[in-house]
Amino acid sequence: MTWARLDDQFPWSRKVRRLSDAAFRLHVTGIVASARDLTDGVVTRNDIDEYPAMRGIDKRIDELVSRGVWHANGHECEKCVQPPVDCWQVHDYLDHNPSKSDVEAERSATRERQRQSRKRRLKITDDDSDVTRDSHVTHASVTRESQSPSLPVPSQPVPSRPDPVKRVAATRGSRVPDDFVVTGEMQAWAAKELPGVNAAWETSKFLDYWRGVTGAKAVKLDWAGTWRNWMRRQAEEGTGRPTLAAVSGNARPVVIDQWRNR
């Protein structure tokens, strides 16, 4: 859509204020149609025939020309059919309105800005998709892996199966999962940082406690971090050191690799 421009003194200008109502209407219609069709203020007989019906159209055109509001073209332009009588130029049209070339240049620049903006948005979306593909395993890929092994597609990253605890931590929060697993990394951390705590015993207490808690308190974002904090607290309080006999009921030690689904 192109806007026609009329200044706030337009109806009171010397040439326009003397026009009859019908001539004034024809003049304004010609300006608006020129802006819409990008004719640079050129009005032809074919254009006028498409305007809203008016009586005495030839008389109104003569009035516009006599008042100097329109000028009969004395040369043949691309829109003229039989110059000069079938082609007119709106007076000072380009002094107030942009030319066809200016409008087309602005439209071209706008399209280019929009294209560059879409390009940047698509690049951000593609980058986010790459991160998602690197971090998650789709159901279809798991099904294909379980059915038959195949070589990875060179154009696609090979997804890794996320750790169960990390998968839970990536959600908005949940209760302690039924398949909570103390990973090898967590075992190594406990052995290095808290060697005096019987981590297997405390893990059993940890799961029993949190499975019995209700309400919002029982919902956590990071159960691995909650587990580590539990272990640190037991070390600080000095309550995480029961004997192996007290833990198992006999002399058989509790093996760390058996901390699954306690």
- Do residues 159 and 134 make contact, with C-beta atoms less than 8 angstroms apart? yes
Residue 210's pLDDT is 92
For residue 169, pLDDT beyond 50: no
For residue 167, pLDDT beyond 90: no
Residue 163's pLDDT is 58
Residue 250's pLDDT is 41
Percent of the chain predicted with pLDDT > 70: 68
224 CA to centre of own chain: 34
Residue 125's pLDDT is 74
Residue 229's pLDDT is 93
For residue 15, pLDDT beyond 80: yes
56: left (phi over 0), alpha (psi -120 to 50) or beta: left
SS (H, E, C) 18-46: CCCHHHHHHHHHHHHHHHHHCCCCEEEHH
| Average pLDDT of the chain, as a whole number | 77
List Cα–Cα distances, 102 to 39, 58, 99, 204, in angstroms. 12, 32, 5, 77
Please state, in angstroms and rounded to a whole number, the distance separating the CA atoms of residues 35 and 41. 7
Residue 148's pLDDT is 47
Q: Model confidence over 205-251: pLDDT tens digits?
A: 999 999 998 888 889 989 999 999 989 998 888 765 544 433 444 43
Residue 78's pLDDT is 59
Across 44-53, 57-66, 167-176, the highest mean pLDDT is recorded for 57-66
| Spatial CA neighbour of 160 closest among 141, 188, 140 | 141
Q: Model confidence over 105-161: pLDDT tens digits?
A: 999 999 999 999 998 888 887 666 655 555 554 444 444 444 544 555 555 555 555
Residue 137's pLDDT is 46
